[in-house]
Amino acid sequence: MTEFSEEQRLAFEAAAFRRLVEHLRGSDVQNIDLMNLAGFCRNCLSNWYREAAENSGIAMSKEESREIIYGMPYEEWRSRHQRDASAEQQAAFVRNRPKE
């Protein structure tokens, strides 16, 4: 495996994350479908982003982190893009969610 410096690794990871976020902003895939297929969605990414900020001592609200990931306020994104989940999507979500 190619060796990278810590700085290079962080830069590559950040670039990949930015590309993922841009891809999701341009995609009409629904969050429930992301959850059902991949086990995470845009809201998960925004939560992870907020947790990383807070772990670094930077307070961030849920709304702020969602706007960073969605590229607009969450409620605006929802009104523009979110559709009601079908019965099949909801059933798959229940089947696929982690057991506690």
* pLDDT tens readout for residues 46-77: 999 999 999 999 999 999 999 999 999 999 99
Domain borders along the chain are 6-96
> What pLDDT is recorded for position 50?
98
What integer best gives the mean pLDDT of the chain?
94
Chain-centroid distance of CA 87 in Å reads 23
Residue 100 pLDDT > 80: no
At the fourth CATH level, the homologous superfamily of domain 6-96 is: SMc04008-like (1.10.3340.10)
Contact 50, 68 (CB under 8 A): no
Percent of the chain having pLDDT more than 70?
97
Residue 58, CA distances (Å) to 18, 48, 65, 78 in order: 20, 13, 12, 27
Contact 66, 46 (CB under 8 A): yes
pLDDT at 99 over 70: no
